Structures are given as structure tokens and as C-alpha cells.
Amino acid sequence: MNKMFSVLYFHIFSIVRSPKYVLPIAFLVFLQIMHYTTVHAPPAQFFDYIFLSEIFTFAISVWLGSASNKWFETTTEQLLILKVGSDKFYYAIYTVFLFVLSVCISLISVAIPTIYSFTGLFEQFTVTYFAYSFVLFLGSSFAGICLGSLFHPRMFTKKNEAQFLAILACIVAITRYPISQTYPILNYVLWILPNLSSHQAIITSSSELIFSNVGLLVLVSIAYGILYAIIKILLLCRKRF
């Protein structure tokens, strides 16, 4: 357990000291602020705005996940694996590190509408809505960051190829719902990506926010993140340094 916290602390401390995460986070804040700046009257459906915020959160998380593969030197990673004594255990700890990043991303995303709620635009932004928004962001950000980290340099030696596939996966995940509605047969292939664009249809189908609906969406997103993490661990353990 001490080794786990030691490696986790090393990752967190290294990222805090490094400016490598600043650009994606700054871009996320910019997108969220620009999004809520367009609101000039109290919206009838608050979650119409949260849905687009979730899209931004997911996209930036994919970017962060892909970029995180290059945050640490190969030599450093090898030394950390030797320290914990197992590559599988190390990558499991790294998944916990990605989850911590997802929490931070979600807090940033939910902070923007919270600030705007003091302007009177989001009068219905209660503690319950704050909690629902946060967990939705958390599920999407964890799925996104694990999806992005799946495109590891050891599995994709060509940098441009990894970046292209990460962007493509992000776009398809965001647009999966309308694509599957138009071409249902593609569901047999697209299931591997989270159906992020269906969240709005599920949430707005009811007149009030229902805990079971939100809980299901979050659990599915978390499950996708765990699935991607497991796939990455298995592939990296087979394709060693």
C-alpha cells in the first residue's frame, strides 16, 4: 500500500510541477466560459447546457489521456515498475492517477456553471444539480482520459497515427447516437465507444432529473473507462519495453 501511495504521489507531484497539462486545462476553461457566456436568459432546460459542457469535458479528457502517455520518461516508468515489483500493479496505480485527474477536470467543469449561477442565469442550479453535473462530468472525463491513454506510443509507434485515431475515436463517441439512429447496424461496431451523445436524449426525456437515469449514465461511463484501462494494461504487459 505504501508503494502505491508513493508512486501515486510521484505522478501527482510531477504533474503539478510540470506545465504539460496547462494547455488542455486552459482550453477547457476557455470553452466552458465561452459556452455559458452565450446564455442571456434563464434557460428552460438547464441540462441542455450541461450536456454540451459534458462534451467539452470528454474531448479535453481524451486530449489529456493521450498526452499523459508522454508526461514521463521511459526510464522513469521502468524504474517505477521495478519499485512496485509488477507492471500490472504499476499500470493499475496509473489508472488511479488518471481517475484523480478526472476528478480535477470535473471540478473545473462544474465550477463554471456554479459561478454563473450567482448571476441569476441558473437559478435552478441547486446542490442536487451540482452533484448530478459533477458525477456526469466525472464519468465522461474518466472514460475520455482512459480512452486517450489507450493510444500509447508502445502500441502506436507512429505519432501521427496515434493522434489521428484518438481524434477519430473522440469524434465518433460524441456523434455515436445520431450515427446509430441513422445506421442501426453500426451499433455492432460502435459499442466499443461510449454513447456520449445519447445522454441528452435520456436526460431530457423526463420532465425532472431522475437519479436512476443519471446514475446509469455515470456507471456506464465509468465501466468504459475501466474497460479501456484493462485493455491498455493487458496490451502493455504483452508488449514490454
Range of the domain at 50: 2-238
Q: Please, where are the H alpha helices in 71-126?
A: 74-84, 87-117
The ranges of the chain with pLDDT < 70 are 1, 16-18, 39-47, 119-125, 203-210, 240-241
- The answer to whether 65 and 144 are in contact (CB under 8 A) is yes
H/E run at residue 236: helix 211-238
What does the pLDDT read at residue 98? 92
Return the C-alpha cell found at 100. Answer: 484523480
What does the pLDDT read at residue 240? 65
H/E run at residue 85: none
- The answer to whether 116 and 133 are in contact (CB under 8 A) is no
Distance CA 169, CA 112 (A): 27
- The answer to whether 229 and 205 are in contact (CB under 8 A) is no
Return the C-alpha cell found at 20. Answer: 504539460
* Overall domain count for the chain: 1
What does the pLDDT read at residue 188? 83
CA dihedral 99, 101, 104, 108 (to 10 degrees): -120
Distance CA 47, CA 204 (A): 8
What does the pLDDT read at residue 241? 56
CA nearest 25: which of 153, 145, 174? Answer: 145
For 215-228, what is each residue's pLDDT tens digit? 888 899 999 999 99
CA nearest 229: which of 135, 167, 105, 144? Answer: 144
What does the pLDDT read at residue 46? 65
What does the pLDDT read at residue 139? 93
Distances in whole angstroms, Cα of residue 149 to Cα of each of 26, 57, 58, 112, 212: 20, 15, 13, 26, 29
Residues 6+ apart with CB under 8 A from 134: 106, 107, 110
What does the pLDDT read at residue 155? 79
What does the pLDDT read at residue 70? 77
Cell 473507462 locates to 225
